[in-house]
A and B are shown apart, each in its own frame.
Chain A
Amino acid sequence: MTTVVEAHGLTKHFGKVHAVEDATFRIEENRIYGLLGRNGAGKTTLMSLLTGQEFATAGRVEVFGHSPVENAGVLERTAFIKESQKYPEDFRVKHVLRSAPWFFANWDADFAASLVEKFRLPLDRRIKKLSRGQLSAVGVIVGLASRAPLTFFDEPYLGLDAVARQLFYDQLLADYSEHPRTIVLSTHLIDEVSNLLEHVLVIDDGRIIIDSDADTLRGSATTVAGTSSSVDAFTKNREVLHREGIGGLASATLAGLDASGRRAAADAGLEITPVSLQQLIVRSTTSGIEEK
């Protein structure tokens, strides 16, 4: 297995703001990663560090074995599609597509053209006249057609309607199957992408709090619900991630519940419901709020 990104104690402070704090992780080749977290958690800053667009305050990062900062050899193999990508004044869509091969060695113009058609993007329109969704579509097309060995999508779907988002996910999967590469999807629409991800990194308050295989994470929590007394009796000696109650009813989210545990819960008259990746992450990243 080849490591594409290796970060050690990576830290970025903006004055008093600790945007990224002591992040240590690896990104392995040809996998789809989800970089998940709340607004302001540090997702964009982390990706800016990995693509050499910010200087680290401390720690180090290697991309393809080298520092990405001012390193053409690394950056020509990297695409970073930003949520608020800026283009030169008066650029039209076709200018963006025509200049893309200057930056991306693997650029596939035919693929880009087919995507333009699918997303119904007006080639002659000025970038600044595009709607928010169309602007996002430009980013999605550049990110896909660049076929960069390491591609970052930072919230690529802003303003895209449900049809266009599904189109993006389908095109991403199809093209990834044919041209495997490393993809990092930063998003907070976790439910929509969770099945596409092989590995999940969750960042909260600048720290990496979950670094796990998506399948492992999926089976790692279960919610049981019933009367407060039976829920409490059942959860007494188990690890509870989250508990909610209304009147005499309660529900508790437990870390991992094996087959015998599930049977015991069913026997105790408790309702067992699965926890989606999204719920699990919401519960892992809101704990701080409740304590305050």
Chain B
Amino acid sequence: MDEDRPIFQQIAEQIENDIISGVLPEETQVPSTNEFAAFHRINPATAGKGVNLLVDTGILYKKRGIGMFVASGARARLKAQRAHQFSERYVRPLLLEAEKLGITLDQLATMIQKGTTR
């Protein structure tokens, strides 16, 4: 766990990652709050807060008496959301670092192309 963000946000993000990567397919059950708590060694209430964050946004839904499930269409929605944040989270720091090192935009573009064709 990172120190700089609330743990429940990190839990939510990890579940999101697992949905995006396909580890948790749609309409399958996610681990229980207590299982998350034991695995990450965190307070169960905190784990519950992370799960509820995803219930509130409709990524997970509750089957009464059974547990939490991944909603249909959750993967596409999460991917769209992440694409939206891509610039802020990755491109901006990249440009800042390039500027600091005096790497021009053209050089950067070449580097990116090399990176993708490798």
- The interface of chain A, by Cβ under 8 A from chain B, is 31-32, 169-170, 173-174, 176-178, 195-198, 214-216, 218-219, 222, 263, 266-267, 269, 273-277
Contacts and interface: CB of A to CB of B under 8 A. Distances in A.
Given A170-B41, A196-B42, A267-B96, A215 B6 contact: yes
Contact of B93 (A173, A196, A266, A273): A266
A197 B44 CA distance: 9
Given A169-B41, A177-B38, A266-B93, A198 B46 contact: yes
Contacts of A275: 3-4
B90 to A, nearest CB: 13
A28 to B, nearest CB: 11
Q: Chain B contact residues: over half helix, strand or loop, or mixed?
A: helix
Nearest to A166: B41
B41 A173 contact: yes
A214 B41 CA distance: 15
A31 B5 contact: no
24 contacts: A169-B41, A173-B38, A174-B38, A176-B44, A177-B38, A178-B34, A195-B7, A195-B41, A195-B42, A196-B43, A214-B46, A215-B6, A215-B46, A215-B49, A218-B5, A218-B7, A219-B4, A263-B92, A266-B93, A266-B96, A267-B96, A273-B4, A274-B3, A276-B3
Given A31-B45, A195-B43, A198-B45, A173 B37 contact: yes
Contact of B38 (A170, A197, A266): A170
A47 to B, nearest CB: 20
Nearest to A217: B6
Given A173-B38, A177-B38, A198 B43 contact: yes
